[in-house]
Chain A
Amino acid sequence: MSDFDPFPSEWDNDFAPVLAEDGTKESESMRYSGFKVIKEALTGHRGWGPAWRDATPKAEYDYVIIGGGGHGLATAYYLAKEFKQARIAVVEKGWIGGGNVGRNTTIIRSNYLLDGNEPFYEFSLQLWENLEQELNYNAMVSQRGILNLIHSDAQRDAFVRRGNAMILNGADAELLSTEQIVARYPFLNVNNARFPIKGGLAQHRGGTVRHDAVAWGYARAADQRGVDIIQNCEVTGFRIEDGTCTGVETSRGFIGAKKVASCVAGSSSRLMEKAGMRLPIETQVLQAFVTEGLKPLLPGVITFGAGHFYCSQSDKGGLVFGGDLDGYNSYAQRGNLPVVEDVCEGGMAIFPNLGRARLLRMWGGVMDMSMDGSPIIDRTHIDGLYFNGGWCYGGFKATPASGFAYAHLLATDRPHKTATAFRLDRFATGHMIDEKGVGNQPNLH
């Protein structure tokens, strides 16, 4: 990867990410380092301060970002750092990182097919690659590689096409033979009678990230740049005067804002309904699972191509896996058993020794399932009100680019170069970004 240029010059030059240290405000005493860990170990750990302030709401801000998840915190961070904006608040109804950024299967990748998506996700992967240095926070970014398995000739054709689309957009992709896969994953059942493994599409730069650390790292870095992170502050309404949003009503009083940015995927419809908007979104539940801790077994991320199953091993040793949506509208953050059975069957078809592991936990998260399976980052018809949502079940990997692109939109009122297709009106104009080609049926995306 040494000749890989993370930020080609043809990209948006106005706001190319600053990769080098840029003289940020953080003081040396707050900076995390190996030296600091040793020093604190020898002095009784009395020098660690809170990673971010517990801010109380001010009367007015330039930007109020609703939602203290990964995307909202990343938006605040990039607004402050890359776009040099100030007077920014993130309001969160519970605690930060308590939603989907704490509930996903932690996979990062940029193996999309369509031009509307792939440059964006590749941008995201490049931001991931530099995230820990950027934030001075150990997010455990691990580029252990992702492998999508192939089970038929037709699927090989589709994956060759996808791999070529990835390479054309500056990502990496490699088609692997069954022998190459067996060399790395000797325990996979390549001779399953119904779904034999015929090869795979690998993206070696994909991998996993410690999901909670992403929220915490962005929160800490945003806080150090003056962003107010206001927890336990639920937005109960918008103040809209003559078609302009002038602030939000919250459980802690009115907060005025020049620009209000919704960033609450999973609950987008509930929030935007308060502004009188209907969205091209259904909220559905997706389950995830983790086994007891095991010795190192699975070096990368693997996905089953014939059903829906994806699995990686956490650094703590648990096999983290998931599969299909439950497939119906739900805000319950828990699913039902038929999908559990389906996911486990998919896992057993390729990965028989999974059956010997005991399941430790399972949980559900609620997803903004959009009508074409792709996200939305756009202005709304109400001046001063912006929308970011519709991430389906692919929001985690998008966190850095979503924050960056949303910050770009908020600061400049123009979409970021990699996010021009994520328009709210694309369903009316017929410019859907439908990776799977299944149409306006959210539970099939």
Chain B
Amino acid sequence: MLINHPILGPRDAAEFVYKGDASLIHRPDWQAEDAVAQFTDYGYMRDNPAGLHRELWFHEQGDRSWLVVTRDTTTHEITKVELARDVARAEGRSK
């Protein structure tokens, strides 16, 4: 697989480490009433879709950026690659 890095261009997927579903960006509020249930869900439960999947890849042997890759799990076709930083900021996370 080739991952079209937004900054570096097409890179071999072997340079990356796979983390999992991009919903991991949304760490629950540890002070919420139901924080235990939320963290169980966050840590262990997955949608695991057959089809388009937004997922986190870490460019370990490159610029060490985190990417959000949209990939079809039935064909491995990658349709979108974003910097995880941009995704998190667009959703109002961090500064």
Enumerate chain A interface residues (CB-CB to B < 8 A). Answer: 267, 269-270, 273, 278-283, 327-332, 336, 338, 371, 427-428, 440-443
Contacts and interface: CB of A to CB of B under 8 A. Distances in A.
A269 B73 contact: no
B80 to A, nearest CB: 16
A127 to B, nearest CB: 30
Interface centre among B20, B48, B49, B73 (most CB of A within 10 A): B48
Interface centre among A278, A329, A371, A440 (most CB of B within 10 A): A329
Nearest to A283: B48
Contact of B18 (A267, A279, A328, A440): A328
A371 B39 CA distance: 14
A36 B7 CA distance: 70
A327 B44 contact: no
Give 9 nearest A-B pairs by CB, closest first: A269-B48, A427-B44, A338-B14, A280-B44, A328-B18, A331-B50, A278-B45, A428-B40, A371-B44
Nearest to A269: B48
A427 B43 contact: yes
B74 interface: yes
B90 to A, nearest CB: 23
Nearest to A425: B40
A332 B13 CA distance: 17
A328 B76 CA distance: 10
Interface centre among A269, A330, A442, A443 (most CB of B within 10 A): A330
Given A269-B48, A279-B48, A441-B20, A332 B75 contact: yes
Contacts of B43: 371, 427, 440
A269 B53 CA distance: 14
Contact of A269 (B46, B71, B74): B46
A331 B20 contact: no
B73 A280 contact: no
A278 B46 contact: yes
Interface in B2-48: 12-14, 18-21, 37, 40-41, 43-48
B18 A427 contact: no
30 contacts: A267-B50, A269-B46, A269-B47, A269-B49, A278-B41, A278-B48, A279-B46, A279-B48, A280-B44, A280-B46, A281-B46, A281-B48, A282-B21, A283-B48, A328-B18, A329-B20, A329-B53, A331-B73, A331-B74, A332-B74, A332-B75, A336-B13, A338-B13, A371-B43, A371-B44, A428-B40, A440-B43, A441-B19, A442-B20, A443-B18
Contacts of B12: 338
Contacts of B47: 269, 273, 278
A267 B51 CA distance: 13
Given A269-B48, A281-B46, A338-B14, A332 B20 contact: no
A329 B20 CA distance: 8
A283 B74 CA distance: 11
Given A269-B48, A282-B20, A329 B55 contact: yes
Contacts of A336: 1, 13, 76
Contacts of B55: 328-329
Nearest to A428: B40
Contacts of B41: 278
A328 B56 CA distance: 10
Contacts of A279: 45-46, 48
Nearest to B14: A338
A329 B44 contact: no
B70 to A, nearest CB: 12
Contacts of A273: 47
A6 B14 CA distance: 46
Contacts of B21: 282, 329
A441 B45 CA distance: 12
A371 B42 CA distance: 12
Contacts of B73: 283, 329-332
Contacts of A443: 18, 20
Given A278-B47, A282-B20, 11 more contacts: A278-B48, A280-B44, A280-B45, A281-B48, A328-B71, A329-B73, A330-B73, A336-B13, A440-B43, A441-B19, A442-B20
Interface centre among A269, A278, A281, A331 (most CB of B within 10 A): A331
Contacts of A282: 20-21, 46, 48
Contacts of B71: 328
Nearest to B20: A282
A97 to B, nearest CB: 21
A353 B49 CA distance: 41
A338 B76 CA distance: 14
A416 B70 CA distance: 41
Nearest to B40: A428
Nearest to A272: B48
